[in-house]
Amino acid sequence: MDNLCGLWIDGEGRAHLTVARADGTREERVEEFRPFAWLAALPGGEAGPPLPAGVVLERLKGEGAFTVLAHAGSPTAYDALVALARETSTALDALRPAESQFLLQNRARLFGDLPFAQLRRCQLDIETGSADGSFSDAARPDDRVLAIGLQCGARQRLLTLGEMTDVAEKKLLEEFNAALRDEDPDVIEGHNLFKFDLDYLRQRAKRLKVPCAWGRFGQKATFRNSRLKVAERLIDFPRCDLPGRAVVDTYLLVQLHDISSRELSSYGLKDVAVHFGLTPEDGAGRTYLAGGEIHGMFFSDRARFLAYLADDLRETKGLADLLLPTFFEQTRTFPLLLQEATLRGTTAKIDLLFLEEYYHARQACPAPPEVAPFEGGFTRSFQEGVFRHVLHFDVASLYPSLLLAIGRNPRHDALGVFIPLLTRLRDYRLKYKQLARTAAGSDERAEAQARQASFKILINSFYGYLGFSGARFGDGELAAEVTRRGRKLLQSLIAEFGKNGCTILEADTDGIYLSSEQDFAAPEALLARVAPVLPAGIGLEYDGRYTAMWCYKAKNYALYDGEKITLRGSALRSRATEPFLKKLTDRLIHFLLGASPESPLSQLEHYRTQLAARALPVGEVAKSETLGQNPDTYERFIAEGGKPRRAAAEAALQLTPRPRMGDRVAYYITAKARGKTADWQRARPVALFDAAAAPYAPDYYLEKLDDWLERYGPFLGVKAVTSGQGELFGG
DNA sequence: GCGTGGTCAATACCT
DNA sequence: ACAGGTATTGACCACGCG
């Protein structure tokens, strides 16, 4: 079986395919490609202007915003079509990139039945030096690329700079081009390679007049500014595309992974590698170099320098081993490139499956609908305080199950693609979930596990797709019907558990925490008594039990199972919280849940003393926030009198190089001064901490301790006392 | 100039 | 550019007070 491992549409409109042969080698083929686009009408009407040469129009079946399909025989014809559409004000909708058009048109997918282990992967990492010891900057002539590390399967190529000259650096960049050409990888992986490695190499290559010929078929890289949405925040990065290859940034994959796991405190390679167990916690066997040491080590101890580079490559590969298979699976499912699978959202992916059917059926396509705001899941905190004998139940795949139970396709899905697709994906997932447990080989089990996990994510996003105004086949009313049934269902469960003598503690969307001493030993029996209230096709599951639960507020609670503590909610685990307050809250929770005999109050007093003496490290008091906009944008905004001003953004303006949107900025608050009272006027980056000239303001942080006590004291039986500490440390 | 009480936007989190 | 719901924080404004 021939498996497609690379695809590129050239400027002449030809498709260049890289196909894996059975022996693992790669073969190139060229195929014809006819670009296409959807049009809202015949350009200029029935008696409109003549069509450009090479353009063929077809009227599509059915109703919809796009009733005409246009095929172009060449890129020139295609450009003429776009121009004609613009001149005649005819809405035109084209899939991007062209590679997706090709895949959709041929019902083809990348990788076919290629095992992940046979994907030709290459890790990349560069080390750079700076003439003056500061952070290396590609724009400075004398800051240089010292080494380029490539790891391709078992082969490692550590290319190094021969001498500190332009000639030598140019030679290094040329060697890199040659190495990539020889290894011919399907994928290039690196940690933060968009924002650092590739960007740095691009700048040096431009300066030294070396082409960035890193693509297949001898093609050059292209760069453009792009943006990725990771949960609530946007990340800005200079995207790099290589014809015929995928570029994968594990720094982005790690952040996408952390949306659901939320266990990472830093996204840096070294920390993440330890978290995932790729390197032992004590760093044994791993060579570490501080940023400032790298340049010197290149000359003083080359072996150590190279060991460090090799370890970076090893960790990067380990990360991609864990995080890339999901996207590899998606690429086999959707008509898109692997790189697109890592950088695009779920809407784009689901849209592609719809459009593939509509294209081949020659059916008119809708435009995305208006979606009115609608009510979501039922959420309520029923109790506050500490409870014992806690059980957790939840409904299995609530929203997908409800969608299938309703069985209705979105309003504009004339072909009825949605429900059959969801059914098929669910059946696939169940099949692979089974295989992940029972398959003979461990590789096979891992592959099945990756598939089922990837399908799970996809299935769960179908509901969100319906409610999104950018989804071509969205249907807000159907989404609203799903949540309405979900609320009703959860409330009937709450009532039923109540009838069975349980104390309901907290309910959120599809799950219920309750306390019941008599059922604690036999939760399955309780489940059997309650489950009959559920409609067919909806299953309730017993998910776990806990010796104690502290209920704080809606969506904010802590669980203790006798071994470990689980925290939920922004109040209890926000990464923006000052570390010393976070530690205090952790102590409180351990104490309340019976995991520790020590009251947090002694620690609180300790903090008071330390703060007063400014003995607490600045890292303990600093807040760290993710930037929601670029510092340059913020600067322009305030220059025009924009408000409100923000402490984190003000701190970002003080840093060089300036951080970007999506980066985290840690800052502390300095002393109050005349005309400088607000936080934003007193904020200073931790990176610029100066204990003598700009120490932190103890009174500011002592006040935070008072606020903490006022908020959490009642759970310890402490009445809130307002102290006058603030006056003692002013100025 | 300073505290207070209210609104609003931004951020981080949950299912 | 998948959804809505909740908690928290800080900026800002109007206000009263001195």
What domains are there in chain A, each with its CATH number? 34-94 (3.30.70), 116-325 (3.30.420.10), 376-399+476-558 (3.90.1600.10), 570-730 (1.10.132.60)
Helix (H, G, I), strand (E, B) or coil at A151: strand
The C1' atom of B4 and the CA atom of A609 lie apart, in whole Å, by 30
**Is the CB of residue A51 less than 8 Å from the CB of residue A26?**
no
Which ranges of A158-197 would DSSP assign to H, the alpha helix?
Answer: 166-183
Residues 550-569 of A with CB under 7 A from strand B: 555-556, 567-569
From the list A629, A702, A617, the residue with the least C-alpha distance to A665 is A629
- Return the closest nucleotide (C1') to the Cα of A379: C5
**Is the CB of residue A194 less than 8 Å from the CB of residue A238?**
yes
- Give the H/E segment covering residue A206: helix A198-207
**Other C-beta atoms within 10 Å of A295: how many?**
22
The C1' atom of C5 and the CA atom of A358 lie apart, in whole Å, by 36
**Other C-beta atoms within 10 Å of A119: how many?**
21
Partner residues linked to A431 by β-bridges: none
What local confidence, expressed as pLDDT, does residue A374 receive? 95
The C1' atom of C1 and the CA atom of A461 lie apart, in whole Å, by 14
What local confidence, expressed as pLDDT, does residue A450 receive? 85
What local confidence, expressed as pLDDT, does residue A338 receive? 98
A500 touches strand B (CB under 7 A): no
The C1' atom of B5 and the CA atom of A534 lie apart, in whole Å, by 47
A508 touches strand B (CB under 7 A): yes
Partner residues linked to A71 by β-bridges: A36, A56
The Cα–Cα gap between A77 and A310 comes to: 49
**Other C-beta atoms within 10 Å of A725: how many?**
16
What local confidence, expressed as pLDDT, does residue A722 receive? 47
**Other C-beta atoms within 10 Å of A140: how many?**
12
**Residue that the structure tokens 């560069």 belong to:** A126
- List, edge to edge, every strand of the sheet that includes A68-72: A55-59, A68-72, A36-39, A92-93
The C1' atom of B12 and the CA atom of A230 lie apart, in whole Å, by 13
Strands (E), A533-663: 540-553, 556-560, 565-568, 623-626
- According to DSSP, the β-strands at A664-669 and A623-626 are antiparallel
Q: First CA to last CA across chain A, in angstroms?
A: 75
The C1' atom of C16 and the CA atom of A673 lie apart, in whole Å, by 25
pTM above 0.75, yes or no: yes
What local confidence, expressed as pLDDT, does residue A720 receive? 52
The Cα–Cα gap between A502 and A5 comes to: 56
- Return the closest nucleotide (C1') to the Cα of A376: C4
What local confidence, expressed as pLDDT, does residue A274 receive? 94
Give mean pLDDT in consecutive 10-residue pieces for chain A, a chain of 731 residues: 93 96 95 96 84 94 97 95 94 97 98 95 96 88 96 96 96 98 98 96 97 97 93 88 98 91 85 94 93 93 97 97 94 97 95 98 97 95 96 97 97 97 94 92 87 89 95 97 97 97 97 98 97 94 97 96 95 90 95 95 94 92 89 87 86 88 89 84 91 90 90 83 41 31
- Return the closest nucleotide (C1') to the Cα of A638: C11
Q: Which residues of A477-493 are buried (b: 16+ CB within 10 A; e: fewer)?
A: bbbbbbbebbbebbeeb
What local confidence, expressed as pLDDT, does residue A44 receive? 79
